[in-house]
Amino acid sequence: MIGPSSSHTAGAIRIGLFARKIFGKNPEKVLFRLYNSFAKTGLGHGTDKGLLGGVLGFNVDDSRIKNSFYYAREQGVAYNFEYLARDDRYPNSVDIIFMDTNNNVLMEISGKSVGGGEVQIDKVDGFNTDIRGDYPVLIMVYKDQKGVISNISKLIQDQNVNIATINCERKEKNQEAVLTICLDSVLSIETVEEIRKLPDMYMVRNIDKLEE
């Protein structure tokens, strides 16, 4: 890995990389809000470079991490960092906010580095999640309604893929909901396309587990 710290550097890279995969496309502009320990020691440990490098698609052993600022400018990705202290946030935590060039927020992802390079994505657009990158994961945003989870589960079962964990979060009945399903193996492109065709399915991401 690119050091010096597994939690402040490698963990930061993995959070950024996972956030990019959930966002699903090349970013135009990104705001990073670093909290507590990330904010206090992040500069010395390269946390800022790690987060930005991950968002650019670099993995933990990519030597380009050290020059993330240069590669962001080369790719036309605008970025900014804020450093904050909050008692209600985990010591090594960050909000990654993807925006367009007019500063409209497209997606906000919150994550934390829990030690040894391990990470957790705990919020996607304000919805609670528990995504750790140790399993392939299917992430869906859709309109809350009867039968959605059973329809998705049947499509997964039809491919003979086992579900490891499942988590559904909604704010109000019949409004937007987020469903995350960790799987024992990655779904086929064909199955994912069938899920995308379900009514009122706003976003579907099929993400392999993070590399060790």
pLDDT at residue 77, as a whole number? 97
pLDDT at residue 4, as a whole number? 45
Interval 118-146: pLDDT, tens: 899 999 998 989 888 889 999 999 999 99
Confidence of residue 1 (pLDDT cuts 50, 70, 90): very low
β-pair partners for 29: 78, 99
What residues contact residue 210 under an 8 Å CB cut-off, 6+ apart? 14, 17, 18, 119, 133, 134
Confidence of residue 78 (pLDDT cuts 50, 70, 90): very high
Amino acid of residue 9: T
Interval 60-70: pLDDT, tens: 888 899 899 99
Question: Taking the C-alpha atoms of 23, 27, 33 and 35 in order, what is their torsion angle to the nearest 10 degrees?
Answer: 60
Compute the distance between CA of residue 46 and CA of residue 122 in angstroms, rounded to an integer: 22
Annotate 55-84 with b (16+ C-beta within 10 A) or e (fewer): bbbbbbebeebeebeebbeeeebebebeee
Compute the distance between CA of residue 74 and CA of residue 79 in angstroms, rounded to an integer: 12
Confidence of residue 7 (pLDDT cuts 50, 70, 90): low
Compute the distance between CA of residue 2 and CA of residue 192 in angstroms, rounded to an integer: 34
Tokens 């309109």, located at residue: 143
pLDDT-above-90 percentage for the chain:
69
Interval 8-45: pLDDT, tens: 578 899 999 999 999 999 999 999 999 998 888 766 66
* Higher pLDDT, residue 56 or 5: 56
Compute the distance between CA of residue 118 and CA of residue 134 in angstroms, rounded to an integer: 9
**209 CB burial (10 A radius; 0-12, 13-18, 19+):** middle
Domains belonging to the chain, first-starting first, are 6-125 (3.30.1330.90), 137-207 (3.30.70.260)
pTM of the entire structure? Answer: 0.88
